[in-house]
Amino acid sequence: MGAEKYIEFCELGRWESKTRIVGIYSRSSGALLGEIRWYPHWRQYVFAPRDSIWNKDCLNLVLAKIDEMMLERKETK
């Protein structure tokens, strides 16, 4: 199962009704660990962590989610 047993993604809504905001939560405590959201200056989704620490497996899962969201955005244009 890997990193999926530690974190989960939950869509929080959309920014200005356009781009997705996805929360990243701890499966064990339910705490919000960070968000993936659109950063208009760089024209891409970014990971904005809260006060938390991350291992490489969890970061790879976040990167895969960002890749998925970027691909989805390109396909809808």
| pLDDT exceeds 70 at position 1 | no
pLDDT at 4: 86
Q: Are the CB atoms for 11 and 21 separated by under 8 Å?
A: yes
pLDDT at 58: 95
| pLDDT exceeds 80 at position 12 | yes
- Domain extent listing, the chain: 2-76
pLDDT at 55: 94
Which residues contact residue 33 at a Cβ distance below 8 angstroms, ignoring those fewer than 6 apart?
7, 24, 25, 26, 49, 50, 52
pLDDT at 16: 76
pLDDT at 75: 87
This prediction's pTM: 0.87
Q: Which two tokens stand for residue 13?
A: 């809504």
Q: Nearest-CA neighbor of 26 among 65, 52, 46, 63?
A: 52
| pLDDT exceeds 90 at position 44 | yes
